[in-house]
A and B are shown apart, each in its own frame.
Chain A
Amino acid sequence: AAGVIQSPRHLIKEKRETATLKCYPIPRHDTVYWYQQGPGQDPQFLISFYEKMQSDKGSIPDRFSAQQFSDYHSELNMSSLELGDSALYFCASSLVGTSAEQYFGPGTRLTVT
């Protein structure tokens, strides 16, 4: 069965650079969630989209922005990167009405040097 696809899987950036993470949800899933997991930490919710509209917002820095496109894929844009942004970034998808279960992608490991 198709799963959530995230790209790239690994990304190395320098401080103050920008990064774009992409997420392709499971076919027919209309809701996308982004989570950040720092080293040794639990995942923290950043933001979610349903039908291209932001549906919920968590502890996402102002330096980050995200959007969902007409084909339901989503991109997380991160600017002015800081060392503390180094983390695993997960995307998850679900189908509206069944949001209780979210399907996670493999994650993008971002390293900021």
Chain B
Amino acid sequence: SQQGEEDPQALSIQEGENATMNCSYKTSINNLQWYRQNSGRGLVHLILIRSNEREKHSGRLRVTLDTSKKSSSLLITASRAADTASYFCATQKGGSEKLVFGKGTKLTVNP
């Protein structure tokens, strides 16, 4: 990937557990976003965190950003089977609107 790596590449948990996914990137950014993709379908925007923010919450989602380490994490609390999907981080940097995606984490939540 041009941007970096996500880990783990795959994660399998039980319903009710928390899921944590990590993303690293290589260049300075304006913002970092997380998207969800159900198998072979469209990308759904989950949350955006700007480079001057350190943490953001949205419902059961919590995102952190560490610009010194060029990394971010997405925490999904109290997971549900419907959370089963691939999760991608994507960044935007100054002067460009294009999204640069990481390789994604495939999350499976078992009922």
Contact = CB atoms under 8 A, between A and B. Distances in A.
Contacts of B99: 33, 35, 43, 45, 92, 102
A108 to B, nearest CB: 11
A45 B100 CA distance: 7
A92 B44 CA distance: 11
A50 to B, nearest CB: 8
B40 interface: yes
Best-surrounded residue of A45, A56, A103 (most CB of chain B within 10 A): A45
Interface residues of A, number: 26
B86 to A, nearest CB: 9
Contacts, number: 60
Interface stretch (A65-73, A78-86, A93-101): A93-101
A18 B98 CA distance: 26
Interface string B74-111: 00000000000000101010001111111110000000
A58 B98 contact: yes
A42 B101 contact: yes
Query: Which label, helix, strand, loop or mixed, suits the secondary structure of the A interface?
Result: strand
B103 A101 contact: no
Given A55-B97, A94-B97, 4 more contacts: A35-B99, A45-B100, A56-B96, A99-B97
Interface of B: 1-2, 30-31, 33, 35, 40-45, 48, 88, 90, 92, 96-104
23 contacts: A33-B97, A35-B99, A41-B103, A42-B102, A43-B88, A43-B99, A44-B2, A44-B101, A45-B98, A48-B97, A48-B98, A55-B97, A56-B97, A90-B42, A90-B43, A99-B97, A100-B92, A101-B33, A101-B48, A102-B99, A104-B35, A106-B42, A107-B41
